[in-house]
Amino acid sequence: MSAADVRRRAVLRAIVADYIASQEPVGSKALVERHGLGVSSATIRNDMSVLESQGFIEQTHASSGRIPTEAGYRAFVDALHDVKPLSVAERHAIMQFLDGGVDLEDVLRRSVTLLAQLTNQAAVVQLPTLTVSRVKHCEVVALAPMRLLLVLITDTGRVDQRNVELEHPIDDDAVRLLREHLNTVLVGKTLREAADAIADLPNAAPMHLQPAARRATEVLIDTLVDTTPDRLLIAGAGNLTLHGPGDLRSVIAALEEQVVVLKLLASAQELEHVSVRIGRENEDVELSRASVVTTAYGAGHEALGGLGVVGPTHMDYPGTIQKVATVASYISRILRGE
C-alpha cells in the first residue's frame, strides 16, 4: 500500500470517528486541526475526493463536509485490530451487577438492561433454546396427600414449577420413588428429548405408582412442550429514537415483532467472535438503516444463545463491540460457575 493510500485510510478513520462523535459532516480544516495528519488542508481535500470516488464517504450537499457511507463504516470496522478494553472499574461493575442474578434468566435480563445502558442502543438477548437446555434435576415435593409440586431445573439455570393434583393419596415413600423414576428418565436430556422420553414412564413404574406417575407425566409434558423455544429479551428500544439522522421506526417495529432479530441471534453461534452487520448488509429490509453487533454466550465450547446490540449506522463501533463481547464473556463465566 502506498503512502498516499495509508494516509487516506487514516483520513477515513478520522472522518468516521468525528462523525460518530458529532453526527455532523466533517470538513478538511477540522480534520487537520483535530488529528494532526501532517499535511495541508488542500491535500486532505484531495484525499477526501479520492475516498468519495471510491464510495467510502459522501457529501450531503455541495458546500458541506463529508459523512461516511456504509462502505466507509465497513472499512472502519474491518480495520479495528485492537479494540480498547474496558477499564478495571467498568469490568468490575459489570461482573458485580451480573453476579446478583438468581438464575440464568435473571442474569440475561440484567445483561440486556446493562448493555442498553452501556451503549445507549437497543440490546437483545436470546434465551437458551430447547435443543441445548438439558434437565439437571426434577424435584418432587408433597404439598398435601393428594397434591405434589414438581420443580424442573435445567443446566442453564431455568426453573419451572408445576402443581400436580392426584386422584389418590400418596405417601412419602411413593414420593421418593416417583422422584427417582422421573430423574432416571429426565436427567441429561434436552427438553425436547425429555418430552419424548417421559411418555412411557407410567407404564414402566410399579403398579401402585402408575396413577401418580401418569398425572406427573401429563403435567411435565405440558411444561416441556409449551416452553417457548426462542424467547427474546429486549431493553432500550426507546434509545433508537434519540440518535438524530435516519428513521429507525422500522427497526423498532422489527424489535417488537422479534422474528427478524431472533433470526440474527440464531446465527450468532461462535463463542468469542463478534459479528457486525452494517445497514444493507442486514438481509431483512427492516434493519437496512441499522447496524447490528452480535455474539454468542455459552458454557464450555457450546453456544446457548445470541446476544447483541441494534443501533444506527453511526454507532460507536469500537465501544459497542467491546461491551457486547465483555458482557457475553461474563455470562459464559457465570454459566461455567467461575
pLDDT tens per residue across all 338 residues of the chain: 788 888 899 899 999 999 999 888 998 888 888 887 788 888 988 988 999 999 999 987 766 788 999 999 999 999 887 777 788 888 888 888 888 877 777 888 999 999 999 999 999 998 876 566 788 888 999 998 889 998 888 876 667 788 999 988 989 999 999 999 999 988 988 877 887 888 888 888 888 888 998 999 888 887 776 555 457 888 988 888 776 555 677 788 777 777 777 777 777 778 888 999 999 998 888 888 889 999 999 877 778 888 999 999 999 999 999 999 999 999 888 887 76
Reading across the β-sheet that carries 232-235, which strands appear in turn? 232-235, 122-126, 302-312, 290-299, 275-278
One-character DSSP codes across 145-194: TTEEEEEEEETTS-EEEEEEE-SS---HHHHHHHHHHHHHHHTTSBHHHH
Superfamily covering domain 88-129+230-336: GAF domain (3.30.450.40)
Residue 235: enclosing H or E segment and its boundaries?
A: strand 232-235
Global pTM reads 0.73
Query: Hey, what CATH class is 134-225 in?
Result: alpha beta
Q: Which CATH number fits domain 3-79: 1.10.10.10, 1.25.40.10, 3.20.20.70, 3.40.630.10?
A: 1.10.10.10
Q: Report the alpha-carbon distance of residue 10 to residue 27 in Å, rounded.
A: 14
Q: Report the alpha-carbon distance of residue 27 to residue 190 in Å, rounded.
A: 57
Residue 227 φ then ψ, to 5°: -65, 125
Question: 16 and 76 in contact (C-beta within 8 Å)?
Answer: yes
Going from N- to C-terminal start, the domains of the chain cover 3-79, 88-129+230-336, 134-225
Residue with the three cell numbers 417457548: 228
Residue 260: enclosing H or E segment and its boundaries?
A: helix 259-266
Residue 127 φ then ψ, to 5°: -70, 155
